[in-house]
């Protein structure tokens, strides 16, 4: 059943549209700088997530693994990651721990990208020993712990008990020798939970907001179950979640923004409000579904080059400078954030007085 589910997730992720929520990136506007004083070729897009130096901020987020027939997807993604210098996470490795014969579907990521940055991936319920085994399985430089409560309660075979997640994540952090990144899977992270996670030693938080791939819709399609529009629309829009998280974490904790990041402009907006990296999954699946590894390499390179262009247009030569450039937040996002006690005008006024 687990192996069949892995394949179904890929199939429906390629078939279904984003949403129904909006990411709210359209509520965020960067200000054009007509005097950038920058050589475009010198724009620096290197970054660091959880203490790991990255050539650029675009991360291949967790997608698949756990069945032999999906191994080829991780092979191709690893090839593209190697060719483009991209960090890559594998899908949940719990299947590999339960069924050792499926380990190869994850290990191909290291085989085809021997020197690359790889993130292991597991749910928050696993033991510290299982977390260590997942890291060792692919020689990972970090572990992603995914939080997917809404997905689980939609799955007929999903979890229904969610006690002690925070305590368990803390135990995993204490056991591991690599940093832990906690990520949501499409419903976003609020300021309160971001503060809790940073307080136990998480090194990076991936907001995984609403507006991109909808795992509630995927699970409903997989079991042919009708779910209400209210449930399909559950979650915190990605751009809003980014500000929530940024308002609550210390400088020692990095933020990654994912959940409907579809364009280079989305990515630059995310980096401007404090992200150390941005992560995508659906565009990778859909590019591979309709093309080949070479077409995906071109897509990634174009995305990265377009990020440089937008940074130039704001007058930012690197991400430190970008975070000093103004971002105007309007509409629903402004209403939400101001109601939550988060001052949005400070973003718009950056750089105005010096």
Which tens digit of pLDDT belongs to each residue from 75-133?
A: 999 999 999 999 999 999 999 999 999 999 999 999 999 999 999 999 999 999 999 99
Note the pLDDT tens digit of each residue in 142-164. Answer: 999 999 998 888 877 778 888 89
Q: What is the pLDDT of residue 10?
A: 72
Residue 4 banded pLDDT, cuts 50, 70, 90: low
Q: Greater confidence, 68 or 296?
A: 296
| Per-residue model confidence (pLDDT) at position 3 | 57
Nearest Cα residue to 90 out of 53, 152, 137, 157: 137
pTM: 0.95
Do 261 and 280 form a contact (C-beta atoms < 8 A)? Answer: yes
- The domain locations on the chain are 2-348
Mean pLDDT within 250-267: 98
Note the pLDDT tens digit of each residue in 167-219.
999 999 999 999 999 999 999 999 999 999 999 999 999 999 999 988 888 88
pLDDT surpassing 60 at residue 5: yes
Chain-centroid distance, C-alpha 133: 23
Q: What pLDDT is attached to residue 158?
A: 76
The set of residues, in sequence order, having a beta carbon less than 8 Å from that of 9 and lying 6+ positions away, is: 64, 218, 222
- List of residues 6+ apart from 136 with CB closer than 8 A: none
Q: Which fold has domain 2-348?
A: TIM Barrel (3.20.20)
The residue-averaged pLDDT of 3-20 equals 73
Mean pLDDT for the chain overall? 93
């Amino acid at each position: 059943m687990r192996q069949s589910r892995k394949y179904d997730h890929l199939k429906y992720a390629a078939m279904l549209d984003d949403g129904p929520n909006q990411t709210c990136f359209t509520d965020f506007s960067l200000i054009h700088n007509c005097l950038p004083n920058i050589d475009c070729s010198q724009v620096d897009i290197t970054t660091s997530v959880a203490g790991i130096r990255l050539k650029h901020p675009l991360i291949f987020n967790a997608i698949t693994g756990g069945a032999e027939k999906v191994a080829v997807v991780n092979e191709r993604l690893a090839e593209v990651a190697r060719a483009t210098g991209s960090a890559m996470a594998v899908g949940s490795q719990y299947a590999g721990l339960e069924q050792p014969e499926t380990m190869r579907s994850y290990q191909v990521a290291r085989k085809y990208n021997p020197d690359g940055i790889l993130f292991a991936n597991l749910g928050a319920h696993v033991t510290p020993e299982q977390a260590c085994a997942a890291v060792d399985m692919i020689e990972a430089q970090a572990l992603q712990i995914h939080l997917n409560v809404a997905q689980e309660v939609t799955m007929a075979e999903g979890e229904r008990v969610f006690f002690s997640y925070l305590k368990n994540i803390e135990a995993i952090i204490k056991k591991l020798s690599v940093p832990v990144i906690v990520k949501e899977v499409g419903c976003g992270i609020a300021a309160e939970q971001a503060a809790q996670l940073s307080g136990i030693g998480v090194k990076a938080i991936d907001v995984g907001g609403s507006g991109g791939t909808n795992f509630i819709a995927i699970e409903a399609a997989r079991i042919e179950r009708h779910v209400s529009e209210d449930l399909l629309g559950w979650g915190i829009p990605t751009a809003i979640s980014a500000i929530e998280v940024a308002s609550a974490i210390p400088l020692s904790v990095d933020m990654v923004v994912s959940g409907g990041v579809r364009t280079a402009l989305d990515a630059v907006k995310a980096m401007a409000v404090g992200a150390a990296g941005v992560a995508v999954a659906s565009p990778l699946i859909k590019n591979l579904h309709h093309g080949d590894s070479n077409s995906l390499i071109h897509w990634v390179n174009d995305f990265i080059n377009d990020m440089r262009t937008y940074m130039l247009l704001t007058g930012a030569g690197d991400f430190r400078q970008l975070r000093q450039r103004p971002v105007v937040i309007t509409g629903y996002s402004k209403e939400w954030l101001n109601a939550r006690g988060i001052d949005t005008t400070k973003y718009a006024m950056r750089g105005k007085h010096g």
